[in-house]
Amino acid sequence: MAQTFNLPDAGEGLTEAEIVSWKVSPGDTVAINDVLVEIETAKSLVELPSPWAGTVGELLVAEGVTVEVGTPIITVLEAGESGAPAPAAAPPAVEHEDPTPPDVGPQAAPGPLVGSGPRADAVKRRARHTAARPQPTSVGSGQGRPAAQEPRATASASASASTDATVPAPEPSPRPQTSPTPPSPSPTSPQPSRTVPAPAPSRPAGNPIERLVQRVLAKPPVRKAAKDLGIDLADVTASGAGGEVTRDDLLSYAEQVARNQANAPQFWDAKADHGRIEKVTVRGVRKATAQAMVQSAFSAPHVSIFVDVDASRTMEFVKRLKASRDFEGIKVSPLLILAKAVIWAAARNPQVNASWVPGENGDEIHIKHYMNLGIAAATPRGLMVPNIKNAQDLTLKELAIALGDLATTARAGKTKPAQMQGGTLSITNIGALGIDIGTPIINPGEVAIVAFGTIRQKPWVVSGEVIPRWITTLGGSFDHRVVDGDLSARFMADVAAIMEEPALLLE
């Protein structure tokens, strides 16, 4: 008889989940506790094991579909039972997915340092045409094209020219005339033209008059290639004798320009099928985070305070811990000292480690005499706030290990729903990205959160003298229904005191 497996509640009170990937196919043999499917809830990725042994019958829900708890998702046949497994339904089309473009052949592939698109292709054709055209042998030969009529390619094709249109080597000059006086041109004969390079455009740096008068030294082939690439020779650093710009100087500068343009961020990809507006469905962690932040911001009246802290002794303490044998192989950072400082300060000010609980017979404040310390973590799936259970009982070394394990698990997307539940007070480390400070939003169910800014050297007054010190800024947000201004100030002052003097932890 076929057993139908319904989507269970993988967390506390979750109502739906998305089928991320099936780990089995129809006809596969499974044993008890073999993983059937990976689902994504509003809190984490979860693998669901099989409660039976048998053969996979039918996958009832396709990957990428969100279903409610209790929905049948798979059937498992008993051993020896046969059935015609039906293929899973095709996943629904998602507007923002980018289909892979068809293979357009090697001619459309961009060069190693040049972008793609119609403009780059046109520049490539121009560069190949220029390389195939014969070059003038000397200045004033009369065969060259006037400089004013010479086409200019954009600098974005500089690397293309270095691969498709190599700058030709200088040709030998013709032997001098035997007569010291050149013949005067007749009125009917064409007047020999003299190719004169256009003056370099003025730039903000340097004297403009000197730039117009001073002529950059370069051989004619190098000068011609610079025109085709749209490069001002005055911008190229010369390494030749007497300050001459060589072929290698030009190619090196062209490659540098191409690299800079290739590394520039692209605001909009014209080849993507989503066009100028990309629509992203809000689901999973992003959906849960949005709901939680709206609930917190508009139900708990926030009050925020900030304090600058001299963390020089914290930096010295972290340095000593890293060199200690007891902390060998353990990641130690200033966040460890802040976490310990928050635990210490909350023990001195218990009401910041609490929650506001509405009730039919009146609202209540629940003060927690334990610390489940939440650490906000940015993951590929969005913002998550797992917490360290009973952090008040951990030694400094145990707390360092717990912080490392929490971060590793969160980045891998393996945080379990239980690790997200029951937090009492949270920390967010925005300083990891070089941000000085921000105003954090309280995690729902809590009444306080501490934001940790970057630590950088700044001028600081010590005993009347201005000296460089390691300075950071701490920011705290509090639910004003529970935490008054005086209490929030005393709590933040205690946290700052530990960051300024970690030895207080030993008292």
Q: State the catalytic residues.
A: 480
In three-state form (DSSP H/G/I as H, E/B as E, the rest C), the secondary structure along 438-468 is CCCCCCCCCCEEEEECCCEEEEEEECCEEEE
Task: Output DSSP code: residue 388.
Answer: E
Q: Which residues contact 493 (CB under 8 A, 6 or more apart)?
A: 307
Task: Output DSSP code: residue 112.
Answer: T
Q: What residue type is 385 in one-letter code? A: V
CA distance 34 to 193: 85
CA distance 341 to 237: 54
State the CB neighbour count (10 A cutoff) for residue 5: 17
Residue 283: burial class (beta carbons within 10 Å; 0-12, 13-18, 19+): middle
CA distance 452 to 431: 6
Place of tokens 């709206």: 294
Q: Which residues contact 489 (CB under 8 A, 6 or more apart)?
A: 305
Q: Which residues contact 387 (CB under 8 A, 6 or more apart)?
A: 372, 373, 374, 375, 419, 420, 422, 423, 424, 426
Q: What is the pairing mode between strands 425-429 and 448-452?
A: parallel
Our CA angle for 171, 176, 177, nearest 5°, is: 135
48: nearest Cα among 78, 72, 23, 27: 23
Our CA angle for 479, 485, 490, nearest 5°, is: 105
| Residue 389, token pair as written in the block | 């259970």
Instruction: Give the SS3 label for residue 288.
Output: helix
In three-state form (DSSP H/G/I as H, E/B as E, the rest C), the secondary structure along 141-173 is CCCCCCHHHCCCCCHHHHHHHHHHCCCCCCCCC
Q: Are 224 and 245 in contact (CB under 8 A)?
A: no
CA distance 421 to 355: 14
